[in-house]
Amino acid sequence: MQTLSQLKSGELAGITRLKLSEDLTSFPLEILSLADSLEILDLSDNRLSELPDEFSQLKKLKIFFASNNVFEALPEVLGRCPDLEMVGLKSNKIKHVPAQSLPTRLRWLILTDNQIETLPDSLGERPRLQKLALAGNRLTHLPQTLDQLNNLELVRISANNLIQCPDQLLGLPKLAWFAFSGNPFCQSSTKVQTVPCVPSTSFTLQHVLGQGASGVISKAIWNQPQANLPTEIAVKVFKGEVTSDGYPEDELQACLKVGHHPNLVQSLAQVNEEGYLALIMNLIPNHYRNLGLPPTFSTCTRDTFPENFTLSIEHIEKIVVQMQDVFAHLHENKVCHGDLYAHNTLFDDEANIIFGDFGAATMYHMLTEEQQQKIMAIERRALHYFIDDLLNICIANDQKSDTYKQLQQLITK
């Protein structure tokens, strides 16, 4: 992170990436001195409410983030930035998205956790759009023009007020990661109770194992032995607020509805107290590690992998067979995972996998049969992207094998 004083002194001349977080209430015009070089600008965690017209002078700007500010409208000047591709204004107070505010080259739009009730038809006139995150708003409907977004791959519309299933999205040719829980059209009165409820005082949290958008996972131990349950456990304590994927309660219900599968993180119990929602799970053995890494700015929606990381075609085939079985199990239980990725998959040296992270999961048993089939087709596309990503890191000598060719044929049909 840089400072405003560095910018004013000229110390930052020629930089391509700038991040300023200094409780700013107005846009520092000194940023315009970087117009010939600046490509990424992050003004998150300030108190900004508007951008000046001169902002459009940032002719090389490709990425703009301004999360956790106080914007009440998406600034129209963004639509006049010729190279702007990624816009992220999460957790502002945005009520209005002007038609002119959407850049023509828009590829990635994040407006999670705002107060938006409607979106302009012009959103469907951005053919390069690949990633659209709108969870945690007040949307009652989506523009019909979204059926034109033939490059859209990832959509987050959870925790809104959508009354009808947005059918204009279900037939998009590239859509693969779709989260839509927490809307009236997919509400379920069924409360899944496949595991017992226990009090939060029944275990003691130890060290943190990891955390994501919806909660913190810690290693824990029972304070008193529990019948038929392991002594050491993992506990995910939900943050209790809307995330980029939706409401924690919906994640918990989806986890419980899926039930047991040997390649899924196993749920053991739940805590459902006022102000404290948690899921108790099996502790994953230490020899498991992440199969992939999350997407980057350049890949947008597709996973990445460590440099020089490769897998044999035998291990790829074994992983794929397990994931296909997981996919079948999920959809037999009418649950769309919404985030089927290698970076949400753990594996060991023998290519055994454990799949998890249900933050974007949605139960869809309440939809029509035709809609259910389309939801399954969307997630099958994610499965095929998963296979394709693994084939891209296959050992070179194995790429001539029959198994490699068969997996290629599977994803190109």
Q: pLDDT per residue over 27-48, tens digit each?
A: 999 999 999 999 999 999 999 9
Q: Where are the domains of the chain?
A: 4-186, 200-282, 289-412
| Residue 22: DSSP 8-state | S
Helix residue ranges per DSSP H, 136-183: 167-170
Q: Which residues neighbour 287 within 8 Å (Cβ) at sequence distance 6 or greater?
A: 348, 349
Residue 111 to residue 78: CA distance in whole angstroms: 14
236 is in an annotated binding site: yes
Question: Structure pTM?
Answer: 0.94
Helix residue ranges per DSSP H, 105-222: 167-170
Q: Which two tokens stand for residue 60?
A: 């090389």
Q: How confident is the model at residue 373 (pLDDT cuts 50, 70, 90)?
A: very high
Residue 336 to residue 261: CA distance in whole angstroms: 15
Q: Which of 229, 228, 252, 227 has the alpha carbon at shortest distance from 239? A: 252
Q: How confident is the model at residue 210 (pLDDT cuts 50, 70, 90)?
A: confident
Give residue-wise pLDDT tens across range 175-194. Answer: 999 999 999 999 887 777 77
Long-range contacts of 65-70 (CB under 8 A, 24+ apart): 65/41, 65/89, 66/42, 66/92, 67/91, 67/92, 67/110, 68/44, 68/92, 69/43, 69/44, 69/45
274: left (phi over 0), alpha (psi -120 to 50) or beta: beta
Does residue 66 register a pLDDT over 90? yes
Number of CB atoms found within 10 A of residue 30's CB:
15
Residue 136 to residue 4: CA distance in whole angstroms: 32
Q: Which of 251, 234, 275 has the alpha carbon at shortest distance from 192? A: 251
Helix (H/G/I), strand (E/B), else coil: 274: coil
Give residue-wise pLDDT tens across range 252-280. Answer: 889 989 989 999 999 999 998 888 999 99
Residue 241 to residue 202: CA distance in whole angstroms: 24
Domain 289-412: assigned CATH number: 1.10.510.10
Q: What angle do CA 205, 210, 212 make, to 5 degrees?
A: 115
Helix (H) or strand (E) holding 329: helix 313-332
Question: CATH class for domain 200-282?
Answer: alpha beta
Give residue-wise pLDDT tens across range 110-144. Answer: 999 999 999 999 999 999 999 999 999 999 999 99
Helix (H/G/I), strand (E/B), else coil: 32: helix
Q: Which is the CATH superfamily of the domain at 4-186?
A: Ribonuclease Inhibitor (3.80.10.10)
Q: Which two tokens stand for residue 318?
A: 């074994």
Q: Which residues neighbour 209 within 8 Å (Cβ) at sequence distance 6 or greater?
A: 217, 218, 219, 234
270, 319 in Cβ contact below 8 A?
no
